[in-house]
Chains A and B, each alone.
Chain A
Amino acid sequence: MTSKEILVAPREIHDLIQRASRVEGCEASVAERIASKITFCEINYGGGINGWLQLVADDENCLTETFKSVQILDSLPSKDSLDFSWNPSIPFAFIAQSLNALQSYGFTWESSLESPAGDMQIECVCLNKLNFEKTVSPNKTNKAFSEGLQVDNDEWENLGGIASRFLLSEKILDDAHSAVYE
């Protein structure tokens, strides 16, 4: 780990992405799914957090739209061969988990990315049914849970700064419900 990296637990990524997505305007269910996708990608491919940050930096309203554009990948394709495209392109972080799930149903996927990472832009992905079940190795996930995951410190602080706006001040909350502590 370099001085520019910080060791974090998977749940911390999930929590911060979920909160930061709410701050960026996502409904709770959407934020929950985005957090799951980004955490999966960060663990298995890296670049998940940066992919999320790049997207919201470009356009603060595009998070929900991007989420909607990738939801189709959460369905089982009705054909054995299918192409999906995005214009403008989207970060790979938003589709990595869905592609992995489809692999478990026998679909392989191809794209222009040779070594995909979450912050790489993707325009098109081709699915082919080969009846060959394959998913990412659980080793990376197990290691992340037992040892933590190294992420870029600047990105982590940037994300934490956005996520912190999900919290409300004590003063405001005391005014909104005074019966908590007598």
Chain B
Amino acid sequence: MGLLDLLHDPDISLRSPEKVMDPATLGSARLTRLSFSRSMIRRAASKNWKLKRTAIDLDESGRGQIIYRVDAEGHIFHFVAFTNTIDESLHTDRVIADAWEITAALIEGELDQEFLDFLTMEVPKQEEGRLDSRVLVLTRGNRSVRFYEYLVDQLASGCQPEPSLVGDAGYIMRSTAFYGNGKFGMRSFLGYEPDHPLSAPYRAQFLAAWLFRETSYDSVECCAQIRNPEKAASFDKEWNHFFGLGNSTGLGLVPWAMKHPEEVNAWVGVRELALANVRKLDGSPERRKHLEKWINQAYKHFSSFSGEDRWPWKGPDSLSEAILVIQSAFSSVKDEKQPFNSLYLWAESQSPEITELVVSLLLELDETSDEVIDEFLRVDTSVASDPSMTVEDLKKRFTENYSWLEQLDLESSTAEHYWWVYSDHAEEPRRADRSILDPEHRDVPIDIALRLNHLKKDLDAAEKATKVSTFLQDFPHHGIAINRLMKNSGPYGEPRENVCDLNHLPLNLQRFQLAMYGMDNFKAQSTDWLRVTLFQGAPRIAELDADTSDDWVWPQQPKREREKILHD
């Protein structure tokens, strides 16, 4: 059965789209075992990918070049990173910067001098460069201003970092963009053959992100070695896993979510199917133990940090307290016939953040194979419209799939407050106040709720038997809304909100997507952008083998040297 068949199967008890696609629920999502960072490392481990650093040529400030080679299922890839130093004043989290301390590309194929020269010329230029289909991903970022030099100094003097000075950051470098899928001439996502190791959504970007994180580790260790060859240390086992890759994310995720209902439906759908599977399971001792292990791991992770709530989300202090409550709730239901369902039902009566934290924990019990997940995530967006459809058919679809629009108050004075636009600097998506700036044909058409609302009025006034193609000849501006209705992308394709409303909070859609990617440690910086980390706790590339465990997420903050000795 395909994903859509399963999502419409009445025998599968799925959460309702009204609940799951509510902005508050989307904005409470957490990483799960289905998240792309974890599925990428599972694939790499299970398919015996071989990764190694083939070149590192840095000066004592970390300027130079690092190259990694990946041998994956008969395909060869290289990650080529160019590193530099820039003045601190040029550091910005925004996508619009003009200079970065690291620029890099993931390419497929062998890397000869001619190709390396080409990359050396084009990759540092980022959006201004011109690439070709050998290049799969283009990325860039900066060092942590606070920590990079400190980490180099510590290792150079033969010491490990002091947890209280670096532990809350969780990263050495922070990325600001991962471009792929045909941008700047790179290979299109649809250009990967079905059996290609990177043919799952965002797998190429996540391989690049993992190697970006490896670059950050190698860069620090190499600089320390250059500065003090005799005394320099490498990161010890705990620090070797603790740092992830930082990332800052702006408004770009909102247009993506609104333009890709099939993909959003697939991302949410695989998670909801997995949750439904887990809720049906009986409470075997092994399963109960497995969940208790994950609850414990989550508690240790959050309680090893300290941090108050930061609007609009809970911080580590609240989360560690919440996990104790979850632990207690599970203890009280674990002897029931379906204890995981009971835990979920308890969680449903809690706040959305607690509900979704429990969902994340429960999904560790899911056993859906990675092949099935990958297949479900590869959606076909090329479905042709049916020219025989009538206005009556569209109205029926409207009633079946979009009656929730009535709850959005789309006629209110605030409903069309914002319009969305691309800036001329790195094409960064922004939103503009309609009362200050007229769109004048520059609006990015992600005002889906408004478009559907306008369409409904014209459908109501039209003859029922009118063919949609005829209707479109009179109302060509309804094309996007009609396409939405005709495609029928699935129950979870539409976030239940109007992204043009004055009260729309972009952070909800941003967090949803970042959680699907596998990012965590959400720190909102305003209503429109946030910082996160990914791959915190992940293995270094040299550690990857068939036995690599999937439980690397949620690492504890390393202990101080003194505490370690006492602990040991």
- Contacts from A to B (Cβ < 8 Å): 6-12, 22-23, 25-30, 32-33, 64, 67-68, 71-72, 74-76, 101, 104-105, 142, 144-148, 164, 166-170, 172-173, 175-177, 179-182
Contact = CB atoms under 8 A, between A and B. Distances in A.
A170 B185 contact: no
B424 A169 contact: yes
Nearest to B132: A7
Contacts of A164: 424
A44 to B, nearest CB: 14
A9 B190 CA distance: 11
A119 B115 CA distance: 35
A170 B96 CA distance: 10
Given A30-B477, A146-B191, A7 B424 contact: no
Given A7-B132, A29-B478, A167-B422, A145 B191 contact: yes
Interface in B448-484: 467, 469-470, 472-473, 476-481
Given A32-B479, A145-B188, A148-B132, A10 B529 contact: no
Interface in B178-212: 181-183, 185-193
A2 to B, nearest CB: 15
B54 interface: no
B393 interface: no
Contacts of B476: 27, 29-30, 33, 64, 67-68, 71
A166 B424 CA distance: 8
Contacts of B529: 180-181
A84 to B, nearest CB: 14
Contacts of A175: 436-437
A101 B384 contact: yes
B433 A170 contact: no
Contact of A27 (B425, B467, B472, B477): B477
B479 A179 contact: no
Contacts of A76: 387-388, 469
A52 to B, nearest CB: 16
Contacts of B192: 146
A167 B427 contact: yes
Contact of A179 (B190, B467, B528): B528
Contacts of A173: 421, 423, 430, 432, 437
Interface in B322-352: none
A9 to B, nearest CB: 3
A132 to B, nearest CB: 18
Interface in B510-529: 525-529
A146 B314 CA distance: 44
Contact of B469 (A28, A75, A104, A181): A75
B441 A26 contact: yes
A138 B514 CA distance: 34
B217 interface: no
Give the one of B96, B441, B442, B469 with max A CB within 10 A.
Answer: B441
A11 B445 contact: no
Q: DSSP majority for the A interface?
A: helix
B479 A170 contact: no
A7 B122 CA distance: 15
Nearest to A14: B182
B472 A74 contact: yes
Given A11-B188, A74-B472, A75-B470, 19 more contacts: A9-B185, A11-B181, A12-B182, A27-B476, A29-B480, A68-B473, A71-B469, A71-B476, A76-B469, A146-B133, A148-B133, A168-B442, A169-B424, A176-B433, A176-B436, A177-B431, A177-B432, A180-B250, A181-B525
B251 interface: yes
B443 interface: yes
B423 A170 contact: yes
B398 interface: no
Nearest to B189: A145
Contact of B423 (A28, A33, A104, A168): A168
A29 B479 contact: yes
B68 interface: no
Contacts of A176: 432-433, 436-437
B243 interface: no
A145 B182 CA distance: 8
A23 B477 contact: no
A59 to B, nearest CB: 17
B91 to A, nearest CB: 14
A168 B478 contact: no
28 contacts: A6-B185, A7-B133, A8-B185, A27-B441, A27-B476, A28-B477, A29-B445, A29-B478, A72-B473, A74-B469, A74-B472, A101-B384, A145-B187, A145-B190, A147-B133, A147-B191, A148-B132, A148-B187, A164-B424, A167-B442, A168-B422, A169-B424, A170-B423, A173-B432, A180-B250, A180-B528, A181-B526, A181-B528
B455 to A, nearest CB: 10
A167 B421 CA distance: 7
B94 interface: yes
Contacts of B423: 167-170, 173
Given A11-B188, A32-B479, A147-B133, A22 B441 contact: yes
B418 interface: yes
Contacts of A166: 422, 441-442
A169 B442 CA distance: 12
A28 B255 CA distance: 14
Given A7-B132, A71-B469, A72-B473, A180 B251 contact: yes
A11 B259 CA distance: 14
B133 A179 contact: no
Contacts of A105: 387
Contacts of B436: 175-177
A9 B186 CA distance: 7
Contacts of A72: 473
Contacts of A180: 250-251, 430-431, 526, 528-529
A27 B130 CA distance: 30
A168 B528 CA distance: 19
Give the one of B94, B96, B388, B479 with max A CB within 10 A.
Answer: B479
Across the A-B interface, the 10 shortest Cβ-Cβ residue pairs: A9-B182, A29-B479, A146-B191, A28-B445, A75-B469, A145-B191, A167-B424, A176-B432, A176-B437, A11-B182
A6 B470 CA distance: 39
Nearest to B444: A28
A182 B445 contact: no
Contacts of B479: 29-30, 32-33
Interface string B262-279: 000000000000000000
B384 A22 contact: no
A28 B451 CA distance: 11
A105 B385 CA distance: 12
Contacts of A23: 441
